[in-house]
Amino acid sequence: MLQFRAIADQLFRNPEYHKHVRKQVIKQLKHHKKLYEAYVPMKYRRYLRKMKKTGEWGDHLTLQAAADRFGAKICLITSFRDTCFIEILPKDGNPNLELWLSFWSEVHYNSLYASAGDELNHYLYFSFAIFSPRHLGIGTIQDIINPLIPFYGSVYRCSD
């Protein structure tokens, strides 16, 4: 799943709204150039033109812009050894919603949902829908976490 599809699924429970999400993120980047320009490794206008294209992969900057635009805290579970959990807060520091995504390094984003009852114990057990051209199915966050257990241990706590 592309980043914008995963965000659309979290916001609207429908990944097909990815074009709307991309448009809003680009609008955020365009109208608040001073916040983001220093983090772009090319001419800013070129970056915006590139990111406007459907199918272009989002990056950390588009995640930050999405957090800012939608007033959301984005909780990202990654396959990176040193940073398996990344929290992206809106610049105003006042999130009004939480989006949960997984990111398999340079390959794939998923939209994550809490399983029933997990809110009480705050452990990360999520089920997620995989929306990709080749596969449509249901899995669990354990499918992502199990290969990481040798590096991180068996308990993943998102808050106390």
Taking the domains of the chain in order of start, what are their residue ranges?
3-111
Buried/exposed code over 60-94 (b: 16+ C-beta within 10 A; e: otherwise): ebbbbbbbbbbebbbbbbbbeeeebeeebebeeee
* Structure-model confidence comparison of residues 60 and 157, the more confident one: 60
- Provide the pLDDT confidence category of residue 88 given band limits of 50, 70 and 90: very high
Q: Where are the beta strands (DSSP E) in the chain?
A: 72-78, 85-88, 97-104, 108-114, 126-131, 136-140
Task: Lowest mean pLDDT of 13-17, 82-86, 130-134, name the range.
Answer: 130-134
5, with CB counted inside 10 A (0-12, 13-18, 19+), is buried
**One-letter identity of residue 60:** H
* Global pTM value: 0.74
Count Cα atoms within 13 angstroms, Cβ side, for 143: 14
Give the architecture-level CATH label for domain 3-111: Alpha-Beta Complex (3.90)
Contact 85, 75 (CB under 8 A): yes
Average model confidence (pLDDT) for the chain? 79
Fill in the DSSP letter of residue 122.
Answer: -
Model confidence pLDDT, tens digit, residues 34-82: 999 999 999 999 999 999 999 899 999 999 999 999 999 999 999 888 8
Q: Which of 77, 78, 80, 44 is nearest to 61 (CA)?
A: 44
* Structure-model confidence comparison of residues 28 and 126, the more confident one: 28
In the chain, % of residues over pLDDT 70: 71
**Crossing angle for the helix pair 3-12 and 60-70, nearest 10 degrees?**
20
The percent of the chain in helix, strand and coil, each rounded to the nearest 5, is 45, 25, 30
42, with CB counted inside 10 A (0-12, 13-18, 19+), is exposed
Can you give the pLDDT at residue 148? 43
Contact 78, 102 (CB under 8 A): yes
